Each structure stands twice: as C-alpha cells, then as structure tokens.
Amino acid sequence: MDERHFWLHVDADTTHGGRAFDLLERHCKTPELREMAIHYARESAKLRWFYFDGIYLHYEMGYKLR
C-alpha cells in the first residue's frame, strides 16, 4: 500500500474533524445528546482503529485475515 494514502487522510481528517466539532456544538444542546455523541464517536474511533490495525497486520506483517 502506498504511504501517500495515509498522508492524504491525515490532512482530510484534520479538516473534517474541525467540521465535526462545529456540528456537535450546533446540534447537541442537551447533556444527553452530548453524551450520546461522545459514545458514538468513541465507538467509531474503535472501529477505525481495528480497520487500520487489520490493514497493517495483513499487508505489513503478512497475517492472513479472513
């Protein structure tokens, strides 16, 4: 896999992350909505971690993943 892929995503994620905070501040007006947004942000981050960890294990470490 070409490492440029990851550098492009770093730039895009930085831009998108700022937009996400703007949206959260605008729409999560109650403590319950903020807690729900935090919960799903954490779940999303875990899934992304597992996704990229799987790419690394398969392509860099040579593990056969199903």
6-60 residue pLDDT tens: 677 777 777 776 787 788 889 999 999 999 998 998 999 999 999 999 989 998 8
Distance CA 14, CA 8 (A): 10
17-43 burial, b if ≥16 CB within 10 A, otherwise e?
eeeeeeeeeeeeeeeeeeeeeeeeeee
Distance CA 5, CA 13 (A): 12
DSSP symbol at 22:
H
Please report which residue ranges of 1-66 form alpha helices under DSSP H: 4-27, 31-55
Q: Quote the pTM value.
A: 0.58
